[in-house]
Amino acid sequence: MTDNFIVPQRLRAWTALASHAQRLIGRPLPTLFADDPGRAKRLSLSLGSPVEPDRAAIVADFSKHLLDDAVLAELIQLAREAHLDEGIHCLFTGEQVNFTEGRAAAHMAMRGSCPPPPGNSTGVSSLAMRAFAFALRDGNLIGSTGKPLRHLVNIGIGGSDLGPRLVSEALTDLYANESSPRVDFVANIDPRDIAAVLERSDATDTLFLVSSKSFGTAETLANAEAARQWLRASLGSDADIGAHFAAVSNAEKTAAAFGIQPDRIFPLPEWVGGRYSVWSAIGLPVLAAIGGAFDEFLSGGWAMDEHFRTTPFERNIPVWLGLIGLWNTDYLAIETLAALPYAHGLRSFPAWLQQLEMESNGKHTLRDGSESLLHTAPIVWGGAGTTGQHAFYQLLYQGTRKVALDFIVPVGEDEPRQRALVENALAQAAALMAGRDFNASRAALARRGLPAAEIERLAPHLTCTGNQPSTTLLLPKLDAFHLGALLALYEHKVFVQSWIWGINPFDQYGVELGKEMARALALGHAGAQDASTARLAAVAESFRQQL
């Protein structure tokens, strides 16, 4: 990979953008609309539908951000000066964009958007995984007692859990049939997580899928062992426990030593990172749950890949999403991003996005080994609407912090509750931008017929600052194609930002430090810990002795 990296602050466009930020900071967002009636249309982009070219598959409205045409033009110039076009080319041609680990990040090959790196293939393992998933879906996999396996429990954590969990929750109800297996997910090492699943399970028809690339993840192996003990207790020590296990792992010998049959171990390419792996064998639970619709999911990802790869920056949705996010983070000092999906099926989307953004771009070391002087990934949080409106939206309206907002809104059928859901999403985005000033608060109280003194007392408490910037992503409906496009959109957003910041979004060395310290504690190496940790470990041990 040719390295044309320049520290962002040294780019001409970076300095120009700083001047634009000084020009705009403090300006109320509604005035931008008042001064520019065509703003909403001009600052919206769309991904076309491959089935109906005249209709949009995703519409992205960026007009509620504190920017104008001059800012957008300079952001696009920043992308050019940072050689983002080269980065996209390297990503899709299998070059070593994962530069710390010396390999490609070609997860797009799993959805047919680029060839796998030389000497690699996606074919054989993918075919075997598909055959296994469809056999499970069709009721053709038999457990040790002769009963068909009708319940799949995915045991994984991180990328081996969040992606498959999100997609299964979003799509299972839409594509399930009478033979579809029930799919559950276990991730937490807390015994209550797997216990809750086992309590509603029948050992005779349950299959456990152990998803761990290394087959060495502590939480996953602890839960897999708990599942094995439960099966033995339920089915008897002489039962064929191996009939109730499968694995997605590259450590085939280790998985086989655990008791998993070799033909039930499905590897995934090394160039597919965990948080990008739902498109690969890690997606086996999704394939079992939704069947052939998995190909529509891949097609949605492919459509967004093609849009990202071929569309000029001036109309490129992932490029705009990444650049505007960078603008908010580094120029407007907005440190958090709230993901607000208005669909119950997307309730796990904020957790998925947390890992994607913060594990990918939560780093400070640049490609040249120097330390970033800029903020990189924002703090990502959120929750599903409309439930979030009755929880944390109060802070968005009247708190002291600026928060960037992403509203994800599948429109769906014209049904009263669904219509109300969409109306709530659009209204919240509008209200959080417009706010309510002191005079409007007084007028609202006057309409209630309150005395003048009471109006003056309460008016400050009704005032909402507004000016919370937001992106709204409208999808025609929540189905496999549109979900695939949505997830790929955010994958590419992360890449855009990482390339300009100059960090590697495909490793996660920081995560390893916590694992190492946990292993040290487990081995009793308390002397290597700080005084606080050593004392807390001793107190925890004393509590155990009391129980």
Domain that holds residue 513: 509-546
User: How are beta strands 56-64 and 470-475 bridged, if at all?
Assistant: antiparallel
More confident residue, 424 or 515: 424
Do 389 and 405 contact (CB within 8 A), yes or no? no
Q: What is the pLDDT of residues 328-371, one digit of tens each?
A: 999 999 999 999 999 999 999 999 999 999 999 999 999 999 99
Residues 376 and 496 in one domain: yes
How confident is the prediction for the chain on average, in pLDDT? Answer: 93
Residues 92 and 144 in one domain: no
Residues 350 and 410 in one domain: yes
Residues 85 and 216 in one domain: no
If residue 138 lies in a helix (H) or strand (E), which one and from where to where? none
Is 390 among the catalytic positions? yes
Residue ending a domain, among 291, 323, 355, is 291
Q: What is the pLDDT of residues 437-452, one digit of tens each?
A: 999 999 999 999 999 9
* Number of domains forming the structure of the chain: 3
What six digits make up the tokens of 465?
Answer: 């600052």
Residue 456 lies in a domain: no
Residue 458 lies in a domain: no
**Residues β-bridged to residue 371:** 365
Q: What is the mean pLDDT of residues 187-191?
A: 97
* Helices 69-81 and 317-330, axial angle in degrees (round to 10): 100
| CATH number, domain containing residue 211 | 3.40.50.10490
Q: How far apart are CA 15 and CA 448, in angstroms?
A: 51
Residues 30 and 77 in one domain: yes
Q: What is the pLDDT of residue 121?
A: 59
Residue 112 lies in a domain: no
Sign of the torsion formed by the C-alpha atoms of 382, 384, 388 and 393: positive
Using DSSP's 3-state secondary structure scheme, residue 53 falls into coil
pLDDT at 124 over 50: no
Residue 339 lies in a domain: yes
The model scores a pTM over 0.85: yes
Q: What is the pLDDT of residue 177?
A: 85
Q: How far apart are CA 485 and CA 318, in angstroms?
A: 11
The confidence band for 308, taking pLDDT boundaries of 50, 70 and 90, is very high
Q: What is the mean pLDDT of residues 189-198?
A: 97
pLDDT at 526 over 80: no
Q: What is the mean pLDDT of residues 46-66?
A: 84
Residues 332 and 480 in one domain: yes
Q: How far apart are CA 27 and CA 433, in angstroms?
A: 12
Residues 361 and 493 in one domain: yes
Q: Considering the candidates 359, 482, 492, 493, report the single residue annotated as catalytic.
A: 359
Q: Considering the candidates 41, 178, 390, 516, report the single residue annotated as catalytic.
A: 390
Q: What is the pLDDT of residues 391-429, one digit of tens each?
A: 999 999 999 999 999 999 999 999 999 999 999 999 999
Q: Which residues contact 200 (CB under 8 A, 6 or more apart)?
A: none
What six digits make up the tokens of 462?
Answer: 């009704």
Q: How far apart are CA 42 and CA 44, in angstroms?
A: 6
Do 213 and 250 contact (CB within 8 A), yes or no? yes
Is 515 among the catalytic positions? yes
Residue 449 lies in a domain: no
Q: What is the pLDDT of residue 547?
A: 84
Do 316 and 347 contact (CB within 8 A), yes or no? no
Q: What is the pLDDT of residues 85-104, one digit of tens each?
A: 999 999 999 999 999 999 99
Is 64 among the catalytic positions? no
Q: Considering the candidates 423, 456, 512, 515, report the single residue annotated as catalytic.
A: 515
Residue 444 lies in a domain: no
